[in-house]
Amino acid sequence: MTTLSAAEAGKQLCQLIDEASLNHEPITITGKRSNAVLISESDWRAIQETLFLVSIPGMRDSILEGLKTPVEDCSEDTGITETLQEGSFQAPPHADRLSLTISAGLCPK
């Protein structure tokens, strides 16, 4: 994993965004008061989706069981519709704000 100081990262932010997106590897940015990790938007969304799915009661076991089932033995009725309608789960915190928008002028294409 790449590690850079905040000053170094600031100088090459556009390049680091491209690198995180292409390589799907997190980039650690160290600061004087704390550190941060830069990941691509697609990786962030995948993490959020995984957290959401495993927060649904029984979903983790259902996924693991499904992985063991041969495709020809699968039915189209997953039961997920009923689970979602029961409301027995909660979306992850800040699910409505999953991506960071960067000013169009910041990183030229």
Taking only the tens place, the pLDDT of each residue in 78-108 is 565 565 556 555 555 554 444 333 333 444 4
Map out the domains of the chain with their CATH numbers: 1-39 (3.40.1620.10), 41-97 (no CATH)
Q: Are 22 and 14 in contact (CB under 8 A)?
A: no
Strand 35-38 with 27-30, pairing: antiparallel
Q: DSSP 3-state assignment of 38?
A: strand
In this prediction, residues 8-35 reach a mean pLDDT of 96
Question: How many of the other CB atoms lie within 10 Å of CB of 14?
Answer: 13
On whether the pTM is more than 0.85, the answer is no
